[in-house]
Chains A and B, each alone.
Chain A
Amino acid sequence: MIRFESVSKRFGDVLAVDDVTLHVPEGELVVLIGPSGCGKTTCLKMINRLVEPSAGRVLVNGRDVAHEDPQALRRGIGYVIQSVGLFPHLSVKQNVQVVPSLLGWPERESARRADELLAAVGLEPATYRDRYPRELSGGQQQRVGVARALAVDPPILLMDEPFGAVDPLTRERLQDEFLELQQRLRKTVVLVTHDIREAVKLADRVCLMNGGRIEQYATPEELLRRPRNRFVRQFVGSDRALTRLSRIRVSAVMESAAALDVRASVEAAEAALATNVSLYVTEDGALVGWLMLPALREAGSVQEGYTPLAPHQALTPSDDVREALSRMLELGVANLPVVDRSGRLVGQLGLEDVVTMTAPTEDAPGAAGGA
């Protein structure tokens, strides 16, 4: 879909991009990442000709962008930048309508499209369409930015640090929502960030750059598991095993949990506890607590013997394993129940499962970064 062929860019004496060859496959989300000044943003801007390469070619759909009309090219490529990119003198609706109006869409059609997109990014159109950017929070502005980029349904989306200007909590939510949207839309996305966790969370492939060159271009798993050199290892961080866990959902590794209904008899409970150290206790399928043998004996009934469990202590299938692990450490337990949205027990996650899943990384413990 997008192809860089030996692309270089020189700004005066500085070689910002040095002989980059890169292929972004259709429908994939590729993250360009690296320290400041590594050339990632320059690469992004060469795709829509905001920057012209000094050497080499950039191809979009097999066609050299240098031969395309820049305005027409850009109208066909969604562009999202940090929240500063919204026009302060235009309402939310007018911001979303910028590209449709450049393309001469009839007002009614572009207004309908704007409403549709605002709803898609989680902003109630009736409430937000007539507001101005300064009346929105950072997260809301960012949503409008995404809606604006999607206005004419371009097959390609370029995103320059799209979640950079918001607080960490909002950022995570926006990332989750964007992933959901992307799973539906399957755009070809090139996203620039300097946050490795964001890259690992969002990317189908990560292109790690340094000094204008590509250090490694691989899937996040590959990048974390087999860093190609010292720079990559340092950049992904010594906690890269944990970073890898952030890509894995609890639903992918949880196992079935032994459970007992709260109305079960003492005999049935004793029998079940003969094979399990502890049991989760449910009421009509919903998790209410957990039970161990000594407590059962002391209380004389399941009803009175179980230890209640607060709902926030349970995991949900969509949590990532990194979060789950952190929760276990925080609570000092080696097992956590997993419940669905309605509170029904659907499984459990054990520390052992997590450890066995994180197969050893390429460089064995003791090597740099393995600590």
Chain B
Amino acid sequence: MRRRTRAWLGFGASLALLGLAFLLFAQQDAWAAVLARLFPQQRTVVFERTSLLALAWQHVAIVGASLGLILAIGLPLGVWLTRASGRPFLALVSSLVSAGQAFPPVAVLALALPFFGFGARPTLIALVAYGLLPVTSNTVAGLRAVPSDLKEAGRGLGMGPGALFWRVEVPLALRTVLAGVRVSAVYTLGTATVAPIIGAGGLGVPIIAGLAVGNLALVLQGAVPVALLAVLTDLALGRLVALAPES
């Protein structure tokens, strides 16, 4: 299928671009040179305590861990809400998950601080609370959109609940589920810039530092790479969505 080949190529290309982005982050001196040209009056134009590459890796680690938790919670939750046992809780859980997203991450950080202290743990909690909605709701929507005729056809051919789930429901819901993952991933990449407020690292570090001292060069040093990562991740996951079977 040509469409699939194209999607695979697109996915591979966007992964390659992500790799190139990290090569770019490694060019600390080049960033300094460009930012110095843009902001000649600033004495410090790059964050000096940690290299940009290290900050980017921290950022990816925070986002990766959050996203892992989001998937580990959101996918099973979405599946459960479409099973007989979970269906009664659909409305309740949906509003809880929406509330998680309605809460600004900064507020969640502030609230989590007294319980979990500084560091990575409250950051993960805030990011997971914030990013859970798209994955859960898309999982529910995707599974619910599988035509009941098809499910009955599967049962009529002798599929048990497991076979029906993996062979019919998952492939047909995959596109919608992946679309939710894509949204969550991009959200989380952007939102993770608040992490330094409570002592976690990442690309938010120069942004927060820059904001504190009114140094736009530092803000850009953090914001541009975050935007780049978000755009490229969106691109890669978009190609992955295109690979899922059409329903």
Contacts and interface: CB of A to CB of B under 8 A. Distances in A.
A89 B153 contact: no
B149 A85 contact: yes
A85 B150 CA distance: 5
Given A88-B245, A88-B246, A89-B172, A102 B150 contact: no
A85 B156 CA distance: 10
Contact of B247 (A45, A48, A85, A88): A88
B141 to A, nearest CB: 17
B157 A89 contact: no
Given A79-B153, A81-B153, A89-B247, A99 B168 contact: no
A79 B154 CA distance: 10
Interface in A76-117: 76, 79, 81-82, 84-89, 98-99, 102
A17 B211 CA distance: 74
Contacts of B156: 45, 48, 50, 74, 79, 81, 85, 158
A229 interface: no
A71 interface: yes
A98 B154 CA distance: 9
* Chain A interface extent, by class: 20 to 34
Interface in A34-48: 45, 48
B245 A102 contact: no
* Chain A contact residues, majority secondary structure: helix
A78 B79 CA distance: 30
A74 B157 contact: yes
27 contacts: A48-B156, A50-B152, A50-B155, A50-B156, A71-B158, A71-B159, A74-B155, A74-B158, A76-B158, A79-B153, A79-B156, A79-B157, A81-B152, A81-B156, A84-B147, A84-B149, A85-B150, A85-B156, A87-B150, A87-B167, A88-B172, A89-B246, A98-B157, A98-B159, A98-B167, A99-B157, A102-B158
Interface of B: 147, 149-150, 152-160, 163, 167-168, 171-172, 245-247
Interface of A: 45, 48, 50, 71-76, 79, 81-82, 84-89, 98-99, 102, 134, 148, 158
